[in-house]
Each structure stands twice: as structure tokens, then as C-alpha cells.
Amino acid sequence: MAEEIIQIKDLKVHYPIRSGFWNRITDYVRAVDGVSLSIKEGETYGLIGESGSGKSTIGKVIVGVEAATEGQILYKGKDITKSRNRKKLNYNKDVQMIFQDSMSSLNPRKRIEDIIAEPIRNFENLTTDEERKRVQELLDIVGMPSDAIYKFPHEFSGGQRQRIGVARAVATKPRLIVADEPTSALDLSVQAQVLNFMKQIQQQYNIAYLFISHDLGVVKHMSEDIAIMHRGRFVEIGKSADIYNNPQHIYTKRLLSAIPIVDVNRREEHKRMRQKVEKEFQDNRDKWYDKDGRVYPLQQISDRHFVALPKDAINSELEGEK
């Protein structure tokens, strides 16, 4: 059975809102408002949501770019929100990140050799020859030519720069990679190439991914388990097949209805379905959120399928228990 790499328990990230003459805290932006998930060795966990849903904030907290307000992140069973455990467990070496914008994430003043070698230098003491050999091996893994080490980021296409970003993330031989919208800025044909070699690398090194995206089609291609995020909370969690074949939350249905249809013969049918979903949401918007506009807590509807049920469904369940 695969080992659990990381576990998030009731994670919250709240940003204070200040106002008035004394600049006092009057409220909070609840970017992440109590979410839990676990990722196992070698698996891909998909995290889906619109811009502002809180999904990228979770990734930033995992890699240490953002701080948690409440909750725990457990790595190998140890709470790494305590900084001493990060160092003891080699957490910063074992958990890496692939960023959305490949250009801004690569230092334009550095050659590719130094960009990829930087994380290696942070955690290993290699000779110059050993280091260059490692960088060449990494470039070969992601399908880049050996002479790329002498070049600068601007000399490559977006897809090539993203490959370089993957090579840098893999350089420390991590156990988990947080991939934050790694293909959203790429053309469809290039997206497929990047996703395929990410899968190859995963199989080769048994890496776990937290794959963050707004694109359900991409996440379906990559992930075994999926969480749909909205307004800082999860609205639906389940296996990929459950989410795509039996969506329960209206927000999940809306995301699915927004996926473009390639088959021209089904476009009218798809358009009608999308209009139906949108009408259902608009007509029943209030029942999906509490008085503060927050999503209701998750309820288990099957073995691995959890949904933030609407208010009337929750009330019906409570009445049935009496």
C-alpha cells in the first residue's frame, strides 16, 4: 500500500481587513477556510477551482511561501508548520514547486545550468563536474538539448521553459511536487507534451503531485483523486470518475459544463445542458451557501465521494436521523 506523503488538516489562511482611523481589523478574507486532504506516494491529487478560489494559496502554504492561520500540515506524520521539523525532515528538499509563469519563475540573468543547479547546491556538495553531469541528465530527462545549459531563459519557447522548470523541480529528487497551473499559459499541443513528460517523470521517480488547475480536462488526464474548491472551501471530493460521471454540487456541474466540446454534432446538446445548469444555479443560488455566503461542510455520499450538500438536503438528512 502506498505511503501517505502529506496530510493537510483543517487548514485555514485568513487575511485581515483593516479600516477606520485606527486601522483596526474589521474582518478577514478567508482565502482558505478549513480544508483537509491527503496525498499518497506516487499519486496525483487534482485541485480545481476558479481564480480566487484559494487553490493556489494551499500550494503556497505547502511549500512555505505563505503561512497558515490555523491547521496542520503533516509530512511523514510530523507537523511541518513547526520550522524545526522542516529542517529535520529535509522537507525543503523533498517538496518542490512548478510555477504557472515559466518566464517569471526563471532568473533572466542566469544561464540554464545555474538555474537548474541552484537547488542542488542548496542541499548537496558536488564537484563542478558532478554538478554539470547532473544538470545534463535532468535536461535529457525533460527532452532538452545538452547545449541548453549555456543559454538564457529568453532563448526558449514557453513549452521549453516549462520543461526547464520541471527539470529544476526534479533536481533535488523530491517526493512531492506542487504544480500550480503548469500548462495554463501554453498552447494545447504543447500542453499535452508537458503533461506527458510530467507523467513519465512521476513513474520514473515515484513522485507525488498536487496538480492545481482551473481546467477540469487537464486535471482528469493527470489525477486519480480530485477536490473542487470554491470560496475557500472544498465543495466536492472524489475519485476522478465520480467527479466527472456523477457530479453533485452545482459548482462542479458549472465547471464541467464549461469544458469545450470537440464533437460538432454534440455542441447544441452541450449548449442546452450548460444553459440548464446555469438556470439551476441562478434559481437556487441561496440554498448552496449559508447566511455569510460560505459553502456548507462536506457530507459523505458514498465510499470516496464527499459533497457540500445544499441546505434543504442537509435538513432532510437531519430529520431522517431523528
Per-residue pLDDT reduced to its tens digit, 285-295: 888 888 888 88
Cα dist from 166 to 146, 177, 225, 267, 296, whole Å: 16, 9, 22, 36, 37
Cα dist from 107 to 43, 114, 134, 144, 299, whole Å: 30, 9, 20, 18, 45
- Integer Cα distance of 50 and 35 in angstroms: 16
The one-letter amino acid code at 57 reads T
* Positions in the chain short of pLDDT 70: 1, 102, 313-322
Q: Are residues 253 and 218 in the same domain?
A: no
Q: Are residues 45 and 185 in the same domain?
A: yes
Q: Are residues 88 and 126 in the same domain?
A: yes
Q: Are residues 165 and 193 in the same domain?
A: yes
Q: Are residues 159 and 274 in the same domain?
A: no
- HSE toward the beta carbon, residue 53, CA cutoff 13 A: 22
Q: Are residues 225 and 281 in the same domain?
A: no
Q: Are residues 158 and 186 in the same domain?
A: yes
Q: What is the pLDDT of residue 271?
A: 86
Q: Are residues 254 and 310 in the same domain?
A: yes
Cα dist from 112 to 60, 105, 118, 242, 294, whole Å: 24, 12, 10, 42, 45
Q: Are residues 189 and 272 in the same domain?
A: no
Asked if 8 and 36 count as a contact pair (C-beta separation under 8 A), the reply is yes
Tens-place pLDDT, residues 166-205:
899 999 999 999 999 888 777 777 788 888 888 888 998 8
Interior CA angle at 199 toward 196 and 202, to 5°?
155
Q: Which of 212, 245, 278 is the last residue of a domain?
A: 245
Please give the residue range of the domain that contains residue 296.
248-322
DSSP string, 266-284: GHHHHHHHHHHHHHHHHHT
Q: What is the pLDDT of residue 317?
A: 53
Q: Which of 230, 245, 260 is the last residue of a domain?
A: 245
Q: What is the pLDDT of residue 109?
A: 92
Q: Which of 214, 245, 276 is the last residue of a domain?
A: 245
Q: What is the pLDDT of residue 8?
A: 96
Cα dist from 282 to 165, 251, 285, whole Å: 41, 11, 5
- CATH number, domain of 73, equals 3.40.50.300
Q: What is the pLDDT of residue 293?
A: 85
Q: Are residues 97 and 42 in the same domain?
A: yes
Cα dist from 140 to 37, 95, 105, 145, whole Å: 34, 22, 21, 7
Q: Are residues 167 and 263 in the same domain?
A: no
Host H or E run for residue 63: helix 55-63
Q: What is the pLDDT of residue 320?
A: 53
> Coil, strand or helix: which one is 153?
helix
Cα dist from 284 to 50, 258, 314, whole Å: 20, 19, 15
Grid cell locating 208 = 507525488
Total of domains in the chain: 2
